[in-house]
Amino acid sequence: MLRLIYTLVAIAVSTLATPCWAEAVFQADYEDGSVTSGYPTLGGDRVEVPGLEPGLATAADAAYVVAGGAHGTRFAVANKVVLDDPAYIGGGYPRSEFGLGRIVGASYRDGDHGVYTFSMQLKDLVPSVKGTRKAPSEDVVWQFKHHGGGHDLHLALRGTQLVLGWGGNVHKRVVTDNVMPYVNQWMDLRFDIHWSGSSTGSFIFEMKLPGETEYGHRVEMKDIQTYVTASSDGTPWTGTGSIQYGVYRNGARSADGDTKTLIVYHDEIKAINFTAQPMRAN
């Protein structure tokens, strides 16, 4: 069941305003058998669900619950995108992702500190091939989405590789060169991020693959901009950010060698924002 915990840890009071800082936790384990893990699909604090939210993919199986979650749980959630089928178009691209931008625990601002953990499974993966290109297209499976911009950080499939990107998709690191031995098995992933619009930010990424008992594959970056404020061409990024997970196939083309159907499972998602503030309309 998805839970939002909002615990007051500090209050600053003045005669003009009463800003609040709090720890907010977003959790989704899908044990109630619903695609929202119990969260509403209407109203201000809703989960935006493919097939339900206007403007997202309309296919009935763009998002669905599957039996057998991570670590022995009963259920998980699946996202599916089939190229060349308009029913899997969301926001103008082949996409099936859950939008959480209105939920405090799942969201972040410049100056926040968050820890994010989740499990992921690549279902029956047939990897994309490069064809005549330098590399296959990247299929994003988890992103920290900066609303009014792109992704601040993300994880993507690129053929058989799992790739970590940051800095507005400028910097890349291959964290697993070959995911094929782990297809149809659960992998655990974790981010610890200090969000900064200047060069004072940092992040740690870690992963535990099937058969491993401890987190490893560590990528740590310090003194960098994690909260991107503009694209490389200078276009400003506005608004706040939030986690966004599912399948996003921005540049994928089946005619070029990208796999036609991609299905990704997610489970046991937990986002802790240690310095959250109440969300306001952007």
Domain CATH code at residue 212: 2.60.120.200
Q: Domain count for the chain, please give it.
A: 1
| CA pair distance 269, 238, nearest whole angstrom | 26
Whether 37 is in a domain gets the answer yes
| Mean pLDDT score, 101-126 | 95
Which region among 15-29, 58-72, 130-144 has the lowest average model confidence (pLDDT)? 15-29
Residue 282 scores a pLDDT above 80:
no
What is the tens place of the pLDDT at every residue in 213-268? 999 999 999 999 999 999 988 999 999 999 999 999 999 999 999 999 999 999 99
Whether 282 is in a domain gets the answer no
| CA pair distance 153, 194, nearest whole angstrom | 12
Whether 281 is in a domain gets the answer no
Whether 132 is in a domain gets the answer yes
Of all residues in the chain, what percent are helix, strand and coil, respectively (each to 5)? 5, 45, 50
Using DSSP bridges, classify how beta strands 187-194 and 171-176 pair: parallel, antiparallel or unpaired.
unpaired
Whether 19 is in a domain gets the answer yes
- Expressed as residue numbers, the domain containing 48 is 3-276
Whether 182 is in a domain gets the answer yes
Whether 160 is in a domain gets the answer yes
Whether 56 is in a domain gets the answer yes
84: alpha, beta or left, given left = phi > 0 and alpha = psi -120 to 50?
left
| Mean pLDDT score, 32-60 | 92
